[in-house]
Amino acid sequence: MAQNGLASRLYNGEAGLNIVGRRKLWFGVAGTLILIALLSFGLRGFSLGIEFAGGNSFQVPASVGTLEDAEREVNSALATENTGIKVATVQKVGGTGGDTYELRTPQLDAEKTNAVKDQIAEDLGINPDQISSNQVSEAWGSQVTQRAVLGLVIFIALVMVYLVLRFEWRMAVAAVASLITNLILTAGIYSLVGFEVTPSTIIGFLTILGFALYDVVVVFDKVQENTRGITANNNQTYSEAANLAVNQSLMRSLNTSVVALLPVGGLLFIGAGLLGAGTLKDLGLVLFVGMAVAFLTSILVATPLLALLKSYDPRIQAHAKRVQARRGGLARGEVASKGAVSPTEGQATEESLDPDAAALAGAAPKVGARPAGKRPTGARGGRPGGGGNRPGGAKRR
């Protein structure tokens, strides 16, 4: 029983999941999620970090109390100075001088910044020199965004060239479409949930592209192996061979994704959650979300899209028709399987639907027919040459 379980069948590539055949369902789901993400981009936007939106940051020593105590005192100082703003984000940061709390606020001018800094020191009962403040301009974030977009365009161009040379242009288009879908869905999750976008998030976005591409290439390599010379036989269509490749590589893709997600999950949940290393949260979060989405898009989007693109190839269309015609003949009993005898005389045979088989059948002798070879000279009725009834006898004069 255990040998026939789902895990065993997945491992052996025998699960028989109809992934390519249900491509309309996957495309519908992906399209709906992309639409939701795009609407979220336009209506909700992103929660930009201080590096992109601009603002101020105050670092106070962790010895003043808990993170909540520091946030409460800084908000009180901001209210006392009539700034009209509150703390946006709070995180614990480790350093050589000890742990500190970093509290980020919207933009303040220099005068207000110094006044808030003195008020925080007074409320916390520490020396103002123990508090450091920084002001970040949004221009720096714009430069980071421009560089990231440029890097993304160059990466996609190189990926297209590699996949065209390694496979074919249809596989390149399907792979890039899967990568773009991965980016949109991951960014959509950030927009909907309100995760903060920082430079670490941008780095994570560029990192997951490599992982997503690796997953797609693994599946496409198996597809190419299964479909090589597929038009030479009429046993299965291109879509069926591609679906078999997905089933055969599904367990490998799943194992790769799980192995990759485990350390990233440890980085996110243990490093950022339990240990309080806030600087690891942004990078770990985008990697975890992006890798999980990359696994789904490589299986449910890339290969079904490839099968759809190949279905417009005239050679693949003609091959699919031959396969369906052969199966229809088998179902009606008009086509005999290999090694089987034709059921009744006068019915169409497998060779009538397969030109190559018909040529071979035409060369084969019929049952009970004489050999088609040329008779020996002087032979008569298949008996040795001779004029009389005696073997080899000459005609008497």
Rounded to a whole number, what is the largest CA-CA distance in the chain?
A: 149
For β-strands 196-197 and 47-48, DSSP reports them as: parallel
Q: How far is CA 334 from CA 133, 320, 337, 360, 365, in A?
A: 85, 19, 10, 18, 21
Distance of CA 356 to the CA centre of its chain: 40
372 touches 365 (CB < 8 A): yes
Q: What is the pLDDT of residue 180?
A: 92
Looking at the chain, list the stretches that DSSP marks H as alpha helix, in order from N- to C-terminal side. Answer: 6-11, 23-43, 50-53, 67-80, 110-124, 138-166, 169-193, 199-227, 238-265, 279-297, 303-310, 314-332, 350-353, 355-363
- The per-residue pLDDT for 324 is 87
Question: Closest Cα to residue 308, out of 240, 249, 239?
Answer: 239
Query: Model confidence over 221-245: pLDDT tens digits?
Result: 989 998 888 888 888 899 999 998 8
For the chain, residues with pLDDT lower than 50 are 1-2, 339-397
pLDDT of residue 86: 81
- Reported as a single tens digit per residue, the pLDDT across 339-358 is 444 443 333 333 333 444 44
Task: Output the six-digit token pair for 279.
Answer: 């600087």
Please give the structure tokens belonging to residue 228. 């090589």
